[in-house]
Amino acid sequence: MQVEVNIDETYTRPKAVILTAALTDEVRQAVEFLSHADAPPITGYQGEIVRLLAPAELIRIYASAGKVLAATERGEYTLRLRLYEAEARLDPHLFVRISNSELIHLKKVQSFDLGLTGTIRVKLSDGTVTYVSRRYVSKLKKQLGL
């Protein structure tokens, strides 16, 4: 990949422009990296253990009993963020809100069951089954192109 940097004092924040003939995996990775370069990491807590959680390892983030939890393949972590703050730090093309209290990682979805009237049943990679609330069904269908 050819890289060019132009210094222009009129820009207060850096701006990246990618010129390409096709949208390749390399270009997608560059866009994803640049889009989240200034996003603070998501920190998860398990008792006294603190881990920086990569977006790729997150399965879902949900609110339960007044806490916000992040489910990963390694277990669940408590977040010291509100759900909307976690949502703002994540890629909106990969993470979607399915209810007032839950976000899911679309790449961690095993299946969507559209057979239920007015809602969608979601099975995630860790075996968790959750449901899209009626309020978010049309938004999810639009995002998935259904």
pLDDT at residue 78 is higher than 90: yes
Which CATH topology does 44-144 take?
Answer: OB fold (Dihydrolipoamide Acetyltransferase, E2P) (2.40.50)
Q: Report the distance separating Cα 119 and Cα 22, nearest Å.
A: 37
pLDDT attached to residue 8: 82
Bridge-based pairing state of the strands 67-72 and 42-46? unpaired
pLDDT attached to residue 2: 73
The reply to whether the predicted model has a pTM over 0.85 is no
pLDDT attached to residue 24: 85
Taking the CB of residue 67, how many other CB atoms lie within 10 A of it? 10
pLDDT attached to residue 22: 87
Q: What is the pLDDT of residues 11-45, one digit of tens each?
A: 777 778 888 888 888 887 777 777 655 567 789 99
Q: Report the distance separating Cα 115 and Cα 6, nearest Å.
A: 54
Q: Report the distance separating Cα 41 and Cα 47, nearest Å.
A: 19
